[in-house]
Chains A and B, each alone.
Chain A
Amino acid sequence: MSLSWAWLFLLLATFPWLLGVDLLSDAMAASGVCLFVSGAAIIAPCRRLRRWQAVLFSACVGFLFESLRPIPDGSLALLLVFIAIYLTSHRDEIRDMPKMFGAAVVVNALGCSAWFIAAGLAHTADVPLLSLHFLGQWLLHLLLATILAVLLLVPLTLVQNFAMDRVGVPQPDEAV
Protein backbone atom coordinates (compact mmCIF):
# COMPACT_ATOMS: atom_id res chain seq x y z
CA MET A 1 0.00 0.00 0.00
CA SER A 2 1.22 3.48 -0.87
CA LEU A 3 2.32 5.57 2.09
CA SER A 4 -0.11 8.33 1.13
CA TRP A 5 -3.01 5.98 1.94
CA ALA A 6 -1.61 5.23 5.40
CA TRP A 7 -4.28 7.41 7.06
CA LEU A 8 -7.05 5.31 5.49
CA PHE A 9 -5.39 2.05 6.52
CA LEU A 10 -5.03 3.47 10.02
CA LEU A 11 -8.69 4.53 10.04
CA LEU A 12 -9.72 0.95 9.20
CA ALA A 13 -7.53 -0.30 12.05
CA THR A 14 -9.02 2.24 14.48
CA PHE A 15 -12.67 1.80 13.47
CA PRO A 16 -13.24 -1.46 15.42
CA TRP A 17 -12.21 0.39 18.59
CA LEU A 18 -14.66 3.19 17.92
CA LEU A 19 -17.36 0.62 17.21
CA GLY A 20 -16.42 -1.25 20.39
CA VAL A 21 -16.95 1.90 22.44
CA ASP A 22 -20.31 2.44 20.69
CA LEU A 23 -21.26 -1.11 21.70
CA LEU A 24 -20.23 -0.33 25.26
CA SER A 25 -22.53 2.72 25.13
CA ASP A 26 -25.24 0.42 23.76
CA ALA A 27 -24.79 -1.96 26.71
CA MET A 28 -25.14 1.03 29.06
CA ALA A 29 -28.09 2.51 27.15
CA ALA A 30 -30.35 2.45 30.21
CA SER A 31 -27.98 4.82 32.02
CA GLY A 32 -28.26 7.48 29.29
CA VAL A 33 -24.54 8.16 28.90
CA CYS A 34 -22.64 8.26 25.63
CA LEU A 35 -19.05 7.01 25.83
CA PHE A 36 -16.46 8.78 23.73
CA VAL A 37 -12.91 7.85 22.75
CA SER A 38 -12.46 9.53 19.35
CA GLY A 39 -10.27 12.26 20.87
CA ALA A 40 -7.78 9.77 22.31
CA ALA A 41 -7.75 7.90 18.99
CA ILE A 42 -5.93 10.73 17.17
CA ILE A 43 -2.96 10.98 19.56
CA ALA A 44 -0.75 8.14 18.26
CA PRO A 45 -1.37 8.95 14.57
CA CYS A 46 -0.44 12.60 15.19
CA ARG A 47 3.00 11.45 16.39
CA ARG A 48 3.89 9.69 13.17
CA LEU A 49 1.66 10.69 10.27
CA ARG A 50 2.39 13.69 8.10
CA ARG A 51 0.25 16.71 8.89
CA TRP A 52 -2.19 16.39 6.00
CA GLN A 53 -2.62 12.69 6.74
CA ALA A 54 -3.27 13.39 10.44
CA VAL A 55 -5.79 16.07 9.44
CA LEU A 56 -7.67 13.69 7.14
CA PHE A 57 -7.60 10.93 9.75
CA SER A 58 -8.89 13.24 12.51
CA ALA A 59 -11.65 14.65 10.30
CA CYS A 60 -12.82 11.13 9.43
CA VAL A 61 -12.79 10.05 13.09
CA GLY A 62 -14.88 13.10 13.98
CA PHE A 63 -17.34 12.65 11.12
CA LEU A 64 -17.74 8.95 11.99
CA PHE A 65 -18.86 9.91 15.49
CA GLU A 66 -21.20 12.61 14.21
CA SER A 67 -22.81 10.61 11.43
CA LEU A 68 -25.18 8.51 13.57
CA ARG A 69 -25.96 11.16 16.17
CA PRO A 70 -27.92 14.41 16.06
CA ILE A 71 -24.82 16.57 16.51
CA PRO A 72 -24.40 19.75 14.41
CA ASP A 73 -22.31 18.89 11.35
CA GLY A 74 -18.60 19.42 11.74
CA SER A 75 -18.62 20.56 15.37
CA LEU A 76 -16.44 17.67 16.52
CA ALA A 77 -14.60 16.91 13.27
CA LEU A 78 -13.34 20.47 12.80
CA LEU A 79 -12.16 20.66 16.42
CA LEU A 80 -10.24 17.39 15.97
CA VAL A 81 -8.68 18.80 12.78
CA PHE A 82 -7.54 21.88 14.70
CA ILE A 83 -6.05 19.67 17.42
CA ALA A 84 -4.35 17.48 14.79
CA ILE A 85 -2.69 20.56 13.25
CA TYR A 86 -1.56 21.68 16.71
CA LEU A 87 -0.21 18.27 17.72
CA THR A 88 1.64 17.67 14.44
CA SER A 89 3.40 21.02 14.84
CA HIS A 90 4.19 20.36 18.54
CA ARG A 91 5.20 16.73 18.39
CA ASP A 92 7.45 17.15 21.44
CA GLU A 93 4.26 17.47 23.52
CA ILE A 94 3.36 13.87 22.74
CA ARG A 95 6.91 12.52 22.70
CA ASP A 96 6.71 9.96 25.52
CA MET A 97 3.99 7.90 27.16
CA PRO A 98 3.21 10.18 30.17
CA LYS A 99 2.84 13.13 27.80
CA MET A 100 0.65 11.04 25.52
CA PHE A 101 -1.60 10.20 28.48
CA GLY A 102 -1.93 13.88 29.31
CA ALA A 103 -2.67 14.78 25.71
CA ALA A 104 -5.22 11.94 25.36
CA VAL A 105 -7.10 13.10 28.46
CA VAL A 106 -7.13 16.75 27.35
CA VAL A 107 -8.08 16.02 23.72
CA ASN A 108 -10.77 13.53 24.67
CA ALA A 109 -12.24 15.96 27.22
CA LEU A 110 -12.18 18.80 24.66
CA GLY A 111 -13.81 16.63 21.99
CA CYS A 112 -16.45 15.41 24.44
CA SER A 113 -17.23 19.00 25.48
CA ALA A 114 -17.49 20.04 21.82
CA TRP A 115 -20.16 17.53 20.87
CA PHE A 116 -21.97 17.75 24.19
CA ILE A 117 -22.32 21.54 24.05
CA ALA A 118 -23.04 21.61 20.30
CA ALA A 119 -25.84 19.04 20.72
CA GLY A 120 -27.09 20.73 23.90
CA LEU A 121 -27.47 24.11 22.19
CA ALA A 122 -30.49 22.68 20.38
CA HIS A 123 -32.24 22.05 23.71
CA THR A 124 -31.64 25.30 25.57
CA ALA A 125 -35.42 25.79 25.82
CA ASP A 126 -35.67 22.63 27.96
CA VAL A 127 -32.28 22.79 29.67
CA PRO A 128 -30.63 26.22 30.05
CA LEU A 129 -26.90 26.16 29.34
CA LEU A 130 -25.91 27.44 32.77
CA SER A 131 -28.25 25.21 34.76
CA LEU A 132 -27.09 22.69 37.34
CA HIS A 133 -28.64 19.94 35.22
CA PHE A 134 -26.54 20.87 32.18
CA LEU A 135 -23.31 21.24 34.15
CA GLY A 136 -23.91 17.95 35.97
CA GLN A 137 -24.47 16.06 32.73
CA TRP A 138 -21.45 17.69 31.15
CA LEU A 139 -19.19 16.80 34.09
CA LEU A 140 -20.42 13.21 34.06
CA HIS A 141 -19.66 12.85 30.35
CA LEU A 142 -16.26 14.54 30.83
CA LEU A 143 -15.40 12.19 33.67
CA LEU A 144 -16.30 9.13 31.60
CA ALA A 145 -14.39 10.45 28.58
CA THR A 146 -11.32 11.03 30.75
CA ILE A 147 -11.46 7.57 32.31
CA LEU A 148 -11.96 5.93 28.93
CA ALA A 149 -9.02 7.86 27.42
CA VAL A 150 -6.72 6.62 30.20
CA LEU A 151 -7.97 3.04 30.01
CA LEU A 152 -7.94 2.66 26.22
CA LEU A 153 -4.93 4.75 25.18
CA VAL A 154 -2.36 1.95 25.57
CA PRO A 155 -4.20 -0.80 23.63
CA LEU A 156 -5.35 1.71 21.03
CA THR A 157 -1.81 3.04 20.56
CA LEU A 158 -0.43 -0.49 20.28
CA VAL A 159 -2.87 -1.36 17.50
CA GLN A 160 -2.34 1.94 15.69
CA ASN A 161 1.46 1.67 15.94
CA PHE A 162 1.30 -1.90 14.64
CA ALA A 163 -0.82 -0.73 11.69
CA MET A 164 1.55 2.17 10.98
CA ASP A 165 4.59 -0.15 11.17
CA ARG A 166 2.94 -2.49 8.66
CA VAL A 167 2.27 0.36 6.24
CA GLY A 168 5.78 1.71 6.68
CA VAL A 169 5.00 5.05 8.36
CA PRO A 170 8.27 6.52 9.71
CA GLN A 171 8.97 6.38 13.47
CA PRO A 172 8.10 9.50 15.56
CA ASP A 173 11.72 10.78 15.52
CA GLU A 174 11.79 10.74 11.74
CA ALA A 175 8.29 12.18 11.20
CA VAL A 176 8.12 15.65 9.62
Chain B
Amino acid sequence: MDNNRQGAKASYVALVFFIGLWLILPSAVRRFNREAFAEFQAPALHLVGKGRDLARYWELKSRSPEELVAASRDLARINAALELKLHSLDDARKENIRLREMLRYPQSTEFVTVVARVSIRETSSWWQRIVIRKGRSDGIRPGCPVVFGDRVIGRVSTVHLTTSEVDLVTSPGFRCTAFLEGDDQYHVVHVSGRAGLSLSAPRAVVSIIPLEYNPPAGQIAKVMTTGLGGVFPSGLTLGTLEAGVQSTAEKHMQTGALTPAKELNFIQEVSVLIPKYPTAGEILLTPAGKPEEFR
Protein backbone atom coordinates (compact mmCIF):
# COMPACT_ATOMS: atom_id res chain seq x y z
CA MET B 1 0.00 0.00 0.00
CA ASP B 2 2.87 2.38 0.89
CA ASN B 3 4.51 1.64 -2.43
CA ASN B 4 1.22 2.48 -4.13
CA ARG B 5 0.97 5.86 -2.34
CA GLN B 6 4.62 6.62 -3.04
CA GLY B 7 4.03 5.79 -6.69
CA ALA B 8 1.08 8.17 -6.66
CA LYS B 9 3.27 10.97 -5.28
CA ALA B 10 5.80 10.38 -8.03
CA SER B 11 2.96 10.45 -10.57
CA TYR B 12 1.70 13.79 -9.25
CA VAL B 13 5.20 15.23 -9.52
CA ALA B 14 5.49 13.87 -13.07
CA LEU B 15 2.10 15.40 -13.92
CA VAL B 16 3.13 18.83 -12.60
CA PHE B 17 6.35 18.58 -14.62
CA PHE B 18 4.36 17.58 -17.71
CA ILE B 19 1.90 20.47 -17.25
CA GLY B 20 4.85 22.86 -17.09
CA LEU B 21 6.33 21.30 -20.19
CA TRP B 22 2.94 21.42 -21.94
CA LEU B 23 2.64 25.15 -21.27
CA ILE B 24 6.06 25.98 -22.71
CA LEU B 25 5.93 23.56 -25.64
CA PRO B 26 5.74 25.21 -29.08
CA SER B 27 2.16 25.50 -30.29
CA ALA B 28 3.03 23.25 -33.24
CA VAL B 29 3.30 20.28 -30.85
CA ARG B 30 -0.13 20.97 -29.37
CA ARG B 31 -1.53 21.46 -32.87
CA PHE B 32 -0.04 18.14 -33.96
CA ASN B 33 -1.59 16.43 -30.93
CA ARG B 34 -5.02 17.93 -31.71
CA GLU B 35 -4.67 16.96 -35.37
CA ALA B 36 -3.74 13.37 -34.46
CA PHE B 37 -6.82 12.91 -32.29
CA ALA B 38 -9.06 14.55 -34.89
CA GLU B 39 -7.71 12.17 -37.55
CA PHE B 40 -8.32 9.24 -35.20
CA GLN B 41 -12.02 10.18 -35.15
CA ALA B 42 -12.31 11.02 -38.85
CA PRO B 43 -13.13 7.48 -40.13
CA ALA B 44 -15.92 7.16 -37.55
CA LEU B 45 -17.35 10.55 -38.57
CA HIS B 46 -17.28 9.48 -42.22
CA LEU B 47 -19.06 6.27 -41.28
CA VAL B 48 -21.73 8.19 -39.37
CA GLY B 49 -22.28 10.54 -42.32
CA LYS B 50 -22.47 7.68 -44.81
CA GLY B 51 -24.88 5.83 -42.54
CA ARG B 52 -27.15 8.88 -42.58
CA ASP B 53 -26.92 9.09 -46.36
CA LEU B 54 -27.87 5.41 -46.60
CA ALA B 55 -30.85 5.92 -44.31
CA ARG B 56 -31.95 8.86 -46.48
CA TYR B 57 -31.47 6.72 -49.60
CA TRP B 58 -33.76 3.99 -48.27
CA GLU B 59 -36.27 6.56 -47.15
CA LEU B 60 -36.34 8.02 -50.67
CA LYS B 61 -36.48 4.56 -52.19
CA SER B 62 -39.65 3.84 -50.26
CA ARG B 63 -41.44 6.76 -51.95
CA SER B 64 -44.13 5.91 -54.48
CA PRO B 65 -43.33 6.18 -58.24
CA GLU B 66 -46.03 8.89 -58.57
CA GLU B 67 -44.18 11.09 -56.10
CA LEU B 68 -40.91 10.58 -57.97
CA VAL B 69 -42.54 11.35 -61.33
CA ALA B 70 -44.01 14.56 -59.89
CA ALA B 71 -40.64 15.54 -58.41
CA SER B 72 -38.77 14.92 -61.67
CA ARG B 73 -41.41 16.91 -63.61
CA ASP B 74 -40.97 19.84 -61.23
CA LEU B 75 -37.20 19.58 -61.55
CA ALA B 76 -37.42 19.57 -65.35
CA ARG B 77 -39.45 22.80 -65.24
CA ILE B 78 -36.98 24.42 -62.87
CA ASN B 79 -34.10 23.29 -65.10
CA ALA B 80 -35.71 24.88 -68.15
CA ALA B 81 -36.19 28.18 -66.31
CA LEU B 82 -32.61 28.09 -65.02
CA GLU B 83 -31.22 27.44 -68.50
CA LEU B 84 -32.91 30.59 -69.75
CA LYS B 85 -31.46 32.50 -66.80
CA LEU B 86 -27.99 31.09 -67.52
CA HIS B 87 -28.09 32.43 -71.08
CA SER B 88 -28.96 35.92 -69.91
CA LEU B 89 -26.28 35.74 -67.18
CA ASP B 90 -23.69 34.68 -69.74
CA ASP B 91 -24.36 37.83 -71.74
CA ALA B 92 -24.10 39.92 -68.58
CA ARG B 93 -20.82 38.20 -67.65
CA LYS B 94 -19.26 38.94 -71.03
CA GLU B 95 -20.34 42.57 -70.82
CA ASN B 96 -19.00 42.76 -67.27
CA ILE B 97 -15.59 41.44 -68.37
CA ARG B 98 -15.47 43.92 -71.26
CA LEU B 99 -16.31 46.86 -68.98
CA ARG B 100 -13.77 45.76 -66.36
CA GLU B 101 -11.09 45.58 -69.06
CA MET B 102 -12.02 49.05 -70.31
CA LEU B 103 -11.84 50.51 -66.79
CA ARG B 104 -8.81 48.40 -65.76
CA TYR B 105 -10.87 47.37 -62.72
CA PRO B 106 -9.25 44.70 -60.47
CA GLN B 107 -10.53 41.14 -60.93
CA SER B 108 -12.96 39.95 -58.28
CA THR B 109 -12.08 36.79 -56.38
CA GLU B 110 -12.95 33.61 -58.27
CA PHE B 111 -14.02 30.51 -56.39
CA VAL B 112 -14.06 26.78 -56.97
CA THR B 113 -17.10 25.14 -55.37
CA VAL B 114 -16.74 21.92 -53.39
CA VAL B 115 -19.96 20.31 -52.20
CA ALA B 116 -19.67 18.58 -48.82
CA ARG B 117 -22.03 16.57 -46.64
CA VAL B 118 -22.39 17.43 -42.96
CA SER B 119 -21.01 14.74 -40.70
CA ILE B 120 -21.83 15.99 -37.23
CA ARG B 121 -23.00 19.18 -35.51
CA GLU B 122 -21.37 20.56 -32.38
CA THR B 123 -23.17 23.20 -30.37
CA SER B 124 -22.69 24.65 -26.94
CA SER B 125 -22.90 28.06 -25.31
CA TRP B 126 -19.40 28.79 -26.60
CA TRP B 127 -19.46 27.43 -30.15
CA GLN B 128 -21.79 26.46 -32.97
CA ARG B 129 -20.01 24.45 -35.61
CA ILE B 130 -20.41 21.58 -38.03
CA VAL B 131 -17.92 18.99 -39.25
CA ILE B 132 -18.04 18.34 -43.00
CA ARG B 133 -16.74 15.33 -44.92
CA LYS B 134 -14.26 17.18 -47.11
CA GLY B 135 -10.82 18.32 -46.05
CA ARG B 136 -7.30 19.24 -47.05
CA SER B 137 -7.21 16.47 -49.65
CA ASP B 138 -10.10 18.21 -51.46
CA GLY B 139 -8.32 21.56 -51.50
CA ILE B 140 -10.22 23.15 -48.61
CA ARG B 141 -8.26 25.77 -46.71
CA PRO B 142 -8.93 27.53 -43.40
CA GLY B 143 -11.01 30.68 -43.85
CA CYS B 144 -12.93 29.46 -46.92
CA PRO B 145 -16.56 30.65 -46.98
CA VAL B 146 -19.26 28.00 -46.62
CA VAL B 147 -22.63 28.59 -48.25
CA PHE B 148 -25.89 26.88 -49.16
CA GLY B 149 -27.23 28.33 -52.40
CA ASP B 150 -26.88 32.09 -51.94
CA ARG B 151 -27.05 31.88 -48.16
CA VAL B 152 -24.01 32.04 -45.91
CA ILE B 153 -23.60 29.13 -43.49
CA GLY B 154 -20.24 30.03 -41.98
CA ARG B 155 -16.51 29.83 -42.50
CA VAL B 156 -14.00 26.95 -42.36
CA SER B 157 -12.10 27.24 -39.09
CA THR B 158 -9.94 24.10 -39.04
CA VAL B 159 -9.02 21.72 -41.82
CA HIS B 160 -8.02 18.07 -41.36
CA LEU B 161 -7.05 15.58 -44.06
CA THR B 162 -10.57 14.41 -44.93
CA THR B 163 -12.77 16.51 -42.66
CA SER B 164 -13.12 20.21 -41.86
CA GLU B 165 -14.65 22.16 -39.01
CA VAL B 166 -16.93 25.05 -39.94
CA ASP B 167 -17.79 27.93 -37.60
CA LEU B 168 -21.45 28.83 -38.22
CA VAL B 169 -22.67 32.40 -38.65
CA THR B 170 -23.93 32.32 -35.05
CA SER B 171 -20.66 31.03 -33.59
CA PRO B 172 -18.77 33.54 -31.39
CA GLY B 173 -15.68 33.33 -33.63
CA PHE B 174 -17.54 34.46 -36.77
CA ARG B 175 -17.01 38.02 -38.07
CA CYS B 176 -18.15 39.57 -41.36
CA THR B 177 -19.06 42.93 -42.90
CA ALA B 178 -22.49 43.41 -44.47
CA PHE B 179 -24.95 45.75 -46.17
CA LEU B 180 -28.53 46.13 -45.01
CA GLU B 181 -31.43 45.92 -47.42
CA GLY B 182 -33.16 49.26 -47.74
CA ASP B 183 -30.05 51.28 -46.92
CA ASP B 184 -29.58 53.56 -49.96
CA GLN B 185 -26.28 54.88 -48.56
CA TYR B 186 -24.75 51.37 -48.43
CA HIS B 187 -23.33 51.78 -44.93
CA VAL B 188 -21.13 48.88 -43.92
CA VAL B 189 -22.37 47.10 -40.78
CA HIS B 190 -20.66 44.40 -38.74
CA VAL B 191 -22.05 40.89 -38.19
CA SER B 192 -20.62 38.72 -35.41
CA GLY B 193 -21.69 35.53 -33.67
CA ARG B 194 -22.44 35.62 -29.97
CA ALA B 195 -22.13 33.15 -27.12
CA GLY B 196 -25.63 31.70 -27.05
CA LEU B 197 -28.18 30.75 -24.44
CA SER B 198 -28.79 27.03 -24.24
CA LEU B 199 -32.31 25.81 -25.05
CA SER B 200 -32.84 28.78 -27.38
CA ALA B 201 -32.09 29.41 -31.04
CA PRO B 202 -28.56 30.75 -31.63
CA ARG B 203 -28.33 34.34 -32.84
CA ALA B 204 -25.74 36.64 -34.34
CA VAL B 205 -25.49 40.37 -33.74
CA VAL B 206 -25.56 43.15 -36.33
CA SER B 207 -23.69 46.17 -34.98
CA ILE B 208 -22.66 49.68 -36.10
CA ILE B 209 -26.02 50.24 -37.84
CA PRO B 210 -26.32 54.00 -38.51
CA LEU B 211 -28.96 55.83 -36.49
CA GLU B 212 -30.67 57.12 -39.63
CA TYR B 213 -31.29 53.60 -40.97
CA ASN B 214 -34.91 52.51 -41.07
CA PRO B 215 -35.80 48.98 -42.16
CA PRO B 216 -38.06 48.82 -45.26
CA ALA B 217 -41.68 49.18 -44.18
CA GLY B 218 -43.73 46.00 -44.09
CA GLN B 219 -40.89 43.61 -44.84
CA ILE B 220 -37.96 42.00 -43.10
CA ALA B 221 -34.59 43.57 -43.95
CA LYS B 222 -32.06 41.19 -45.46
CA VAL B 223 -28.42 41.35 -44.38
CA MET B 224 -26.03 40.73 -47.27
CA THR B 225 -22.28 40.31 -47.59
CA THR B 226 -20.27 43.24 -48.93
CA GLY B 227 -17.47 41.34 -50.64
CA LEU B 228 -14.98 43.57 -48.81
CA GLY B 229 -11.93 41.74 -47.55
CA GLY B 230 -12.17 39.14 -50.30
CA VAL B 231 -13.39 36.28 -48.09
CA PHE B 232 -17.08 36.19 -48.98
CA PRO B 233 -18.37 37.07 -52.45
CA SER B 234 -20.68 40.09 -52.36
CA GLY B 235 -24.48 39.78 -52.34
CA LEU B 236 -24.81 36.55 -50.35
CA THR B 237 -27.55 36.52 -47.73
CA LEU B 238 -26.33 36.28 -44.14
CA GLY B 239 -29.83 36.39 -42.70
CA THR B 240 -32.54 38.83 -41.76
CA LEU B 241 -32.46 41.68 -39.29
CA GLU B 242 -34.90 41.05 -36.47
CA ALA B 243 -37.36 43.75 -35.44
CA GLY B 244 -36.38 45.77 -32.37
CA VAL B 245 -33.13 47.41 -33.42
CA GLN B 246 -31.76 49.31 -30.41
CA SER B 247 -29.46 52.27 -29.96
CA THR B 248 -26.14 51.69 -28.24
CA ALA B 249 -25.42 53.24 -24.84
CA GLU B 250 -23.50 56.08 -26.53
CA LYS B 251 -26.55 56.78 -28.79
CA HIS B 252 -24.47 57.09 -31.96
CA MET B 253 -25.13 53.64 -33.53
CA GLN B 254 -27.71 50.87 -33.42
CA THR B 255 -27.46 47.12 -32.91
CA GLY B 256 -29.86 44.35 -33.77
CA ALA B 257 -30.16 40.57 -33.80
CA LEU B 258 -29.67 38.52 -36.95
CA THR B 259 -31.72 35.44 -37.76
CA PRO B 260 -29.54 33.15 -39.92
CA ALA B 261 -30.63 32.65 -43.52
CA LYS B 262 -30.76 28.88 -43.25
CA GLU B 263 -31.87 26.66 -40.39
CA LEU B 264 -28.29 25.92 -39.41
CA ASN B 265 -29.01 23.03 -37.07
CA PHE B 266 -30.73 20.90 -39.68
CA ILE B 267 -28.51 21.48 -42.69
CA GLN B 268 -27.29 18.31 -44.44
CA GLU B 269 -25.14 19.61 -47.27
CA VAL B 270 -23.08 22.75 -47.87
CA SER B 271 -20.82 24.22 -50.56
CA VAL B 272 -17.33 25.38 -49.71
CA LEU B 273 -16.08 28.26 -51.87
CA ILE B 274 -12.35 27.88 -52.36
CA PRO B 275 -10.61 30.97 -53.78
CA LYS B 276 -8.80 30.08 -57.01
CA TYR B 277 -5.92 32.32 -56.08
CA PRO B 278 -4.55 32.99 -52.58
CA THR B 279 -6.28 35.79 -50.73
CA ALA B 280 -4.33 38.72 -49.33
CA GLY B 281 -4.40 37.22 -45.83
CA GLU B 282 -3.09 33.88 -47.08
CA ILE B 283 -0.24 35.54 -48.97
CA LEU B 284 0.78 37.37 -45.81
CA LEU B 285 0.68 34.20 -43.71
CA THR B 286 2.42 31.93 -46.25
CA PRO B 287 6.15 31.46 -45.65
CA ALA B 288 8.22 32.76 -48.54
CA GLY B 289 9.00 30.16 -51.17
CA LYS B 290 5.91 28.04 -50.55
CA PRO B 291 3.40 29.36 -53.09
CA GLU B 292 2.84 25.83 -54.48
CA GLU B 293 0.48 25.18 -51.53
CA PHE B 294 -2.22 27.08 -53.42
CA ARG B 295 -1.83 25.33 -56.72
A55 located at the interface, meaning its Cβ lies under 8 Å from any Cβ of chain B in the complex: yes
B102 contacts partner chain A, Cβ-Cβ < 8 Å: no
CA distance in complex: A123, B157 (Å): 17
Given contacts A32-B197, A137-B198, contact A74 B7 (CB under 8 A): no
Number of interface residues of A (CB under 8 A): 44
Nearest residue, chain B, Cβ from A30: B265
Contact in complex: B22, A74 (CB < 8 Å): yes
| Docked pose: A74 CA to B38 CA in angstroms | 14
- What is the chain B residue whose CB lies nearest that of A123? B195
Task: Given A68-B38, A68-B165, A74-B30, verify A133-B126 contact (CB < 8 Å).
Answer: no
For the complex, what is the distance from the CA of A116 to the CA of B198, rounded to whole Å?
Answer: 13
Question: Is there a chain B Cβ closer than 8 Å to A165's Cβ?
Answer: no
| A140 contacts across to B, CB distance below 8 A | 198-199
User: Using Cβ atoms and an 8 Å threshold, which residues of chain B touch A31?
Assistant: 123, 198-199
With A63-B37, A73-B33 as contacts: A34 and B124 at CB distance below 8 Å: yes
B121 touches A26 (CB 8 A): yes
B172/A67 in contact, CB under 8 A: no
Nearest-neighbour CB distance to chain B for A99, whole angstroms, equals 18
Query: Chain A interface mostly helix, strand, loop or mixed?
Result: helix
A34 and B122 contact, Cβ closer than 8 Å, known pairs A64-B37, A73-B34, A89-B8: yes
- Does A66 sit within 8 A of B, measured CB to CB? yes
**Beta-carbon contact of A33 and B121 below 8 Å:** no
Choose among A67, A74, A116, A137 the residue with the greatest number of B CB atoms under 10 Å from its CB: A67
Interface residues of A (CB under 8 A from B): 15-16, 19, 22-23, 25-26, 29-34, 51, 55, 60, 63-64, 66-70, 73-74, 78, 81-82, 85-86, 88-89, 116, 119-120, 122-123, 126-127, 133, 137, 140-141, 176
Sampled A-B contacts (11; CB under 8 Å)? A32-B196, A32-B200, A67-B34, A68-B120, A70-B157, A74-B22, A74-B30, A85-B8, A89-B5, A116-B126, A137-B197
